[in-house]
Chain A
């Protein structure tokens, strides 16, 4: 029996590196031969920086994009700091895609409510860009995007945010936790946007990704609006080492986030005490 070492990354090329904010940088990666990654929105890859280590990073581009894929990384530790020192033309290691993302078939015909806090926008952008692609847009119902950041300086994908505001097939609302000079928009945590949203309760699916503290409150207010648990999807973060269900770090009660997640239907994990 021929076995493959599941821990060996494939060496890929960085074709574009662009600073996005003080802390976040955008990366575009080309696999050998321009092969497609073959991910679904919400999945992640394990990124290796030579000599430093490995970290799980969401794929931020839509699977519809061919020839390369995109990531946005916040520098917080050794691997992510080292990534920020890389330039276009450098090499890095990729394993994956891993886990389960959003099954887009389930979203067909539905109104989609996207709730993204901070860097949580990164994986959800893959879903958003899948939905708003010209060839795909009519497959889905309304697209409502609620986005919250600490300050306006921390906004990611600014060009795209601008485009969302322009397009009339996207309902986009944004808030910041703290007003900084030049901000005219809403101030307050992301949950403050929810009461203003009118939903067709029978036909809406909500997706949530953000910092750990956010989930509980957002879910509470979605429920109080009348959404059922199985209409809510969450993308969860946990410490990860192996990405393949072996090392134990990402475990929430009896499930491995790297395998079953990071995207979960809320009804699936509601009873898991450690989940949210």
Chain B
């Protein structure tokens, strides 16, 4: 049987996020043996290579990105978003809550008009995404699980419950016991509660749980004396595109 052809594409993501690592990590070599990598990283030619599985890294933030992603989607049988930027817009999306013109000015100075930029979007905001490997950075083991599921014809599954579930199973002390507001209760699990297990609050890099109760989150953070602007920061760090803190709505 021929190896499935796989391509990796890099969009707007924070420097050196995953793929550089993916290149080198020993524990990924065995699984990467099972595929034929036809396109990697910057080697973006628009020659319309033939590949079946496209892994997308980074968020979409220029008109050119949009054009490219449509092209990739047309070719790929399976499209997988890798990492927080591709999954939920990630850190890049923080700027979406700011004035777009201001952003360009800050970044490009008076050359801002030479660089058309749009709101940083998750891949799924533009095209259909089949599967995700969430996280910032994404977890190599999870990437491996997703890829091996795809290679064996399975639907890769990522947890639909909260980080607290994994945190409790490890019997960590809850950071709220120390007055530290943590995004764990509303963040999708799968990282093994990586941050709380190391004494740091979860900042929500794996995206929100499917049925977010935003008001609960706000109430709790308020209780822990976070000001509204701090609460917004916690939410907006990774999940800007999914919460609008100006609204108050009860389900």
Contacts and interface: CB of A to CB of B under 8 A. Distances in A.
Do A's and B's CB atoms come within 8 Å in the complex? yes
Interface of A: 51-52, 77-78, 81-82, 85
A77 B155 CA distance: 7
Interface in B28-76: none
12 contacts: A51-B152, A52-B154, A77-B155, A78-B154, A78-B155, A78-B157, A81-B153, A81-B154, A81-B155, A82-B153, A82-B154, A85-B153
Interface residues of B, number: 5
For the complex of A and B, the 6 pairs showing the least CB-CB separation, nearest first, are A78-B154, A78-B155, A77-B155, A52-B154, A81-B153, A85-B153
Contacts, number: 12
A183 to B, nearest CB: 32
Contacts of A77: 155
A247 to B, nearest CB: 15
Contacts of A51: 152
Given A52-B154, A78-B155, A82-B154, 9 more contacts: A51-B152, A77-B155, A78-B154, A78-B157, A81-B153, A81-B154, A81-B155, A82-B153, A85-B153
A45 B152 CA distance: 25
Interface string B145-167: 00000001111010000000000
Pick the most buried of B152, B153, B154, B157: most chain A CB atoms within 10 A of its CB: B154
Interface in B150-195: 152-155, 157
A212 B214 CA distance: 30
Nearest to A53: B154
A51 B149 CA distance: 11
A77 B152 CA distance: 14
Contacts of B153: 81-82, 85
Contacts of B157: 78
Contacts of A52: 154
A37 B12 CA distance: 58
Nearest to A51: B152
A121 B153 CA distance: 29
Contacts of A85: 153
B70 to A, nearest CB: 28
